[in-house]
Amino acid sequence: MDVNYEWTFFHSPEYRRSPYFDATVRDGAQGFDLYNHMLLPMFYSQLEYREDYWQNVERAGLWDVSVERQVEIAGPDAFEFVNRLVTRDLTKCAVTQCKYVILTNQDGGILNDPILLRLAEDLFWLSISDNDLLFWVQGVAVNSGMQVQVREPDVAPMQIQGPRSKDVVHELFGDSILDLKYYWCREVELDGIPLVISRTGWSGEVGYELYLRDTSRGVELWDRVLEAGRPHELRPTGPNEIRRVEAGIFNWGSDMRLENNPFEITGLERLVEEQEAGYIGKEALSRIRTEGVSRKLVGIEWPGPATERWVEKYWPVFRDGGEVGKVTVTYWSPRLEKQIGYAWVPIELAAPGTELEIEPTGGPRIQVTVAGLPFWDPKKEIPKS
């Protein structure tokens, strides 16, 4: 039975506010999510949701993503330790390079899918998704016998995403920043504010992340970036869910959880790299690679008029009248002019072109088709441009 609830969110010190919080509220932030025990601005009063989308794909959006907490790993054994945490071969990761990585438990379940930044030979940050990865890494370190220090540094990232983001960072940092390659980073200063800047992001567009290393200067940095972005029509927005689904980007906690492994997620198989390092979960993932999987997270799509149906709880998926899976997210894509999303289905129903039915909460069943991922820019040429 579906029940409609009316409820009030109570603010509390346990829900941390970012160094940019006051500036985001001043600039119209009205809708917040909870992420890593922190308030994440998602909606701004001056923009409708589809306007927010076009802002990010035609101009540029400024996001407060301080919720991407950093797990810092430093010390003489930092490289060897991190190489035992992630499923990628870090012997192929140079200093100042970034990598999208997966951490798994001993059963191959996905703990987190952070961006890894290698800031020095013996200094790494994991810029994490929504769970308490810090405690896991600290626990592994305690019994590792390695000389490493694991902590959460006082760092607050923001993102500048969209085709004009390159113009904004050029305005801020000059010609030299244009040499920063996709998935690389460097230490910089802006008016004496210490930062790390990386060419990464959660949008599928050209984008940058600015990691503030002196959080007492949060509002100052926010305003400085907005000022530089004014000639390029930069505006504060939330991370745009429509664009990330178009790009085949997943959200830990809603699309995938600890009970899932990388071979079940379309596109994440590539992150389980053959290597000598004995990382946590390697034996289980080797077995899963050989045996195969019974289910898959795939793309789904269907035509029809624009809809704003939110997947507040998973929608069931049907085939031949029987329930076979669940929908994790759907959005209307203004650019593709169709509804797109993700669904968990049995492996025998995971091929593109397979026809299924889904049942939105409180609505009639809809016929959908399994689609290849990403929906837009399949070779991911846009963010590299």
User: Any idea where the domains of the chain sit in the sequence?
Assistant: 21-68+154-244, 70-151, 294-375
What does the angle CA 285 – CA 290 – CA 291 come to, to the nearest 5 degrees?
Answer: 95
Q: What is the pTM of this model?
A: 0.95
pLDDT of residue 164: 98
Residues 292-314 have a mean pLDDT of 90
Which band of pLDDT confidence, cut at 50, 70 and 90, is reported for residue 6?
Answer: low
Residues 151-162 have a mean pLDDT of 98
Does residue 211 surpass a pLDDT of 50?
Answer: yes
Contacts of 234 (CB under 8 A, 6+ apart): 59, 60, 61, 62, 160, 164, 168, 225, 226, 228
pLDDT of residue 46: 63
CB atoms within 10 A of CB 233: 14
CATH superfamily of 70-151: Aminomethyltransferase beta-barrel domains (3.30.70.1400)
Contacts of 249 (CB under 8 A, 6+ apart): 202, 203, 204
pLDDT of residue 84: 97
For residue 11, what are its two tokens? 């603010």
Is 308 in a helix, a strand, or coil? coil
pLDDT of residue 94: 98
Does residue 67 surpass a pLDDT of 70?
Answer: yes
Query: 294-375: which CATH number, 1.20.1530.20, 3.40.50.10490, 3.30.870.10, 2.40.30.110?
Result: 2.40.30.110
Is 278 in a helix, a strand, or coil? coil
For residue 249, what are its two tokens? 């980007």
CATH superfamily of 21-68+154-244: Probable tRNA modification gtpase trme; domain 1 (3.30.1360.120)
332-371 confidence digits (pLDDT tens)? 999 999 999 999 999 999 999 999 999 999 889 999 999 9
pLDDT of residue 190: 98
Return the C-alpha torsion angle 260, 264, 267, 268, nearest 10: 40
Q: Do domains 21-68+154-244 and 70-151 have the same CATH topology?
A: no
